[in-house]
Structure 1
Amino acid sequence: MEIGPRLKAERQRQGISLRKLAEQVGVTAGLISHIENGRSQPSVSTLYALANHLGLSLDEVLGLNPQAPPRRSAERRQVVQRAAKHPTLHIASGVTWDLVVASIAGTVDAVRVTYEPGASSSPDGSPMRHDGQENAYLVSGSLVLMLDGRRHVVRAGDSLSFDSMRPHRYVNETDEPAWGLWLNVDRGREPTISG
């Protein structure tokens, strides 16, 4: 998915300069420019920081329209979303997000998250914090969750839940991909998701 142009359009719509946004998010203006122009993919932590600072939901970052009124008619509502139609976001450092169900009742997005071997939510090792409640079920593989400086090994079949404002980071230290289903509820806006 081309997230850069969406981030750029929202930054410009809000009248925020590259330098100001970079300063507020804690990255370089050059990195934001590269992301906005599609020359670089952000890490999970940088994407969260940019989206949260700009007030964007995951739907908006992926180019979906969360502002559209919910469809009431069962005939007009899409019941099955085919696998090939799931919006996919490839993030720097070997992390992939597949939006498998968008805006459940306007409060939650279900995201299949895959961490390739060696992948990390933050390549530089810094923890991330963002609005919402982090909820996940790991289907396959193993991940290390660093939460508040404590190390937790999460294995297939394990689940987790915590306030996303707590400093956290995910790392796949194994030779096998790890993937699971993330259901993140965003408390920062009228309930939308930031997954």
Structure 2
Amino acid sequence: MSQIETGKSQPSVSTLYAITTVLGISVESLFDARASSPMAGVNPPGAVVHALAAFAADPGRRIGPLVGAGERETLELDSGVVWERLGRVPGADVDFLLVTYRPGGSSSGSGALMRHSGTEYGYLTSGELILTLGFDEYTVRPGDAVSFESTTPHRYRNDGEVPAVGVWFVSGDVQ
């Protein structure tokens, strides 16, 4: 945590889910905390830790109904993964995200599979991702969609030379 706070490290997707699970908060609340900070929209060193520390910030705030391309709240994670929040309706248990995996990006910096609560839905618009789901591996291409229980061990990685971009929903029992 101290390395995240000092900007020496950024958590991977799997580490972020592990931290929020232990704290009993949603990933969605990180966006709420970032948006209410004086440095909203900026990703300074320690921004994720500051967001974690301020997770109680206005959970009833609505994002939308229209979110312009330049107005998205963004979290940049380890290993070249970027999440942009596309909207939020208070009381809805869903993360609605534009997700970008840069070339070489992965949801787990260590290569480990991750698990979290909820159901995951994704639609890839460009690039290519490798999805490891349990003991199976799938190549996800533009126009392909995925859906599965997020408690199934999984990992995404971009082995390609171009960013992989898609729209993702994690719904249901999202901490």
TM-score range (shorter-chain normalised) is: 0.7 to 0.9
Distance, in Å, in 2 between the alignment partners of 1:79 and 1:45 is 29
**Deviations 1:122-176 (CA, angstroms, capped at 9, x unpaired):** 1211000011111101111110000102111111000010010110000101111
Secondary structure of the residue aligned to 2:29 is helix
Counting only pairs closer than 5 Å after superposition, residues 6-155 of structure 1 correspond to structure 2 as: 32-62=1-31, 63=33, 65=57, 67-68=59-60, 78-103=64-89, 106-155=92-141
TM-score w.r.t. structure 1 length? 0.71
Alignment RMSD = 2.0
Q: Would the alpha carbon gap of residues 127 and 85 (structure 1) be closer, same or farther in structure 2, given more than 3 Å must change?
A: same
2:145 to 159, 166, 169: 159
Q: Is the 8 A contact 1:143 1:153 kept in 2?
A: yes
- The answer on whether the counterparts of 1:138 and 1:180 sit within 8 Å (CA) in structure 2 is yes
- 1:83-109, CA deviations, whole angstroms, 9 ceiling, x for partnerless residues? 222110110111100001123761223
CA distance in 2 between counterparts of 1:60 and 1:131 reads 15
> Unaligned 5+ residue runs, structure 2?
36-56
The one-letter amino acid of 2:66's match is: V
Larger of the two Rg values belongs to structure: 1
CA distance in 2, matches of 1:109, 1:78: 14
TM-score of the two chains, using structure 2 as the length reference: 0.79
Deviation at 1:79, TM superposition (A): 3.0
Query: What is the percent sequence identity of the aligned residues?
Result: 41
Q: Is the 8 A contact 1:66 1:103 kept in 2?
A: no
Give the direction of change, closer, same or farther, for the CA distance of 1:69–1:85 in structure 2 (3 Å limit). closer
Q: Which amino acid aligns with 1:130?
A: H
Structure 1 window deviating more from structure 2 (55-64 vs 40-49): it is 55-64
Identify unmatched segments of 5+ residues in structure 1: 1-31, 71-76, 190-195
Number of aligned residues: 152
119-128 vs 103-112, which moves further: 103-112
